[in-house]
Amino acid sequence: MNETNVSELAAKANETLTDPERNRTVGDDPNPRFELYHMAFSLCSHKVRTTLAEKGANYTGHDMIFPVENYAPDYVRLRLKGGEQLEQVSDYTGRSSTTTEGFDPCVVPTLVDHEANRVVIDSKAICEYINETAPGADLVPDDIAGEVLRQVEIVDGTPHVAVLYGKHPGNDTRPAPVAERMEGVHARKCERLGQLLEEVKGDEALERAYRNKIAKETAAAKFIATPEDMRNAVDEIAGIIGRLDADLEKAGGDWICGERYTLADVCWGVSLFRLKWLGLGWLWEDDGPAASPRVEAYTRRLMERPGFRKAVIEHPGVPPSPHLA
Ligand SMILES: N[C@@H](CCC(=O)N[C@@H](CS)C(=O)NCC(=O)O)C(=O)O
């Protein structure tokens, strides 16, 4: 059987991605090996963009409009190529880990490697893949790989999505424009997905993808409307930060695995930035439940990394937050 040409699938998905501001090459190479489908403000995309920046890798980027372009049939067809063997997610726990929740065919980031004819999905897998295939500093050194990947896994399993989409019942600190945008967003997603389901009738793979996504988003709407679920998500994050403090003390260096900046730091930088952005920095500041000057100092070091600044803080389309200077 002929192997699918992923560059052809990507070219098809790109037909509607034409805005030059959001669809552009990053770096000097006019024809880079990697093509990345991402979103300016997506946490999982932040991990991948930071990894690319740390490696100094060029790529063609598509900053997709949420939640429209990431549902387009040609994009979903491309992404499905990277998750063929995986069980699809159809439920919701406030986390977005592919390992524990399943594969979502309608999200970003998706990486295309034109040289290897591969589609790679899942931010964790994409970051590891880029680290292995692109030249530059090794972000997962062999001698500490176990601990680096354990930390990456912790960030992957943190309920970041819950605290973006939903409000803490007693203390909603999310910046107002985001809180407003998230109001009713699951219903809007389901409406769009329902229309697409009609449009792709007969295409089994796409129908399945849209059905599972509708089930997931319906469960998500219920989750964020349940005050106890939202309270638990914030409490769980406080516990995670408490353990981060202990791990930093044990590591004894500037970074979470010691003296070397690794993929674990890429992921923590993205996570801590997001939590601060949402106004959840109080968890580890002053007399918060996980108060830790060590975590605060670590956060500051992470925010100062030029790669992180370029890929996240200064990236076009990342909105400001009143919680960040
Ligand atoms: N496990 C996946 C999760 C990807 C994911 O949930 N992406 C979010 C942004 S961080 C998304 O694209 N959401 C859009 C939507 O649900 O419509 C990964 O790490 O890549």
Domain span at residue 77 reads 6-133
Please check whether residue 1 lies inside any domain of the structure. no
In short, whether 97's Cβ falls inside 6 Å of ligand 1 is yes
**Do 125 and 12 have their domain in common?**
yes
**Do 309 and 207 have their domain in common?**
yes
The CA 169 to ligand 1 mean position distance, Å, reads 24
pLDDT at 122: 98
Number of domains the chain contains: 2
Residue 133 tokens read as 């295939």
97-124 average pLDDT score: 98
Taking alpha carbons only, the member of 39, 94, 43, 47 closest to residue 264 is 47
Of all helices (H) and strands (E), which one includes residue 219?
helix 204-224
Number of residues that make up the chain: 325
In short, whether 36's Cβ falls inside 6 Å of ligand 1 is no
128: which residues sit within 8 A by CB, 6+ positions away? 140, 263
165-191 average pLDDT score: 96
116-125 average pLDDT score: 98
- Which among 104, 133, 162 is the end of a domain? 133
**Do 199 and 117 have their domain in common?**
no
**Do 175 and 300 have their domain in common?**
yes
**Do 147 and 268 have their domain in common?**
yes
**Do 183 and 274 have their domain in common?**
yes
Task: Work out the pLDDT band at 216, boundaries 50, 70, 90.
Answer: very high
pLDDT, tens digit, 9 for 90 and up, residues 121-148? 999 999 999 999 999 999 999 999 999 9
**Do 16 and 118 have their domain in common?**
yes
In short, whether 42's Cβ falls inside 6 Å of ligand 1 is yes
Query: Does residue 110 register a pLDDT over 70?
Result: yes
109-124 average pLDDT score: 98
Average pLDDT, rounded, for the chain: 97
**Do 55 and 38 have their domain in common?**
yes
The CA 2 to ligand 1 mean position distance, Å, reads 30
Please check whether residue 95 lies inside any domain of the structure. yes
274-278 average pLDDT score: 98
Cα distance between residue 266 and residue 123, in whole Å = 11
Look at 169 and 34; give whichever has higher pLDDT.
34
The CA 90 to ligand 1 mean position distance, Å, reads 13
**Do 232 and 288 have their domain in common?**
yes
251-278 average pLDDT score: 98
In short, whether 232's Cβ falls inside 6 Å of ligand 1 is no
With 0-12 / 13-18 / 19 or more C-beta atoms within 10 angstroms meaning exposed / middle / buried, residue 157 is: middle
| % of the chain exceeding 70 in pLDDT | 100
pLDDT, tens digit, 9 for 90 and up, residues 221-230? 999 999 999 9
Task: Work out the pLDDT band at 203, boundaries 50, 70, 90.
Answer: very high
176-190 average pLDDT score: 97
308: which residues sit within 8 A by CB, 6+ positions away? 50, 53, 266, 269, 270, 273, 302
- The protein residue with its alpha carbon nearest to ligand 1, atom 13, reads 107
pLDDT at 325: 79
In short, whether 82's Cβ falls inside 6 Å of ligand 1 is no
Please check whether residue 325 lies inside any domain of the structure. no
- We report the CATH number of the domain holding residue 74 as 3.40.30.10
In short, whether 66's Cβ falls inside 6 Å of ligand 1 is yes
**Do 166 and 225 have their domain in common?**
yes
Q: pTM higher than 0.95, yes or no? A: yes
Task: Work out the pLDDT band at 1, boundaries 50, 70, 90.
Answer: low
pLDDT at 3: 87
**Do 196 and 94 have their domain in common?**
no
pLDDT at 242: 98
In short, whether 43's Cβ falls inside 6 Å of ligand 1 is yes
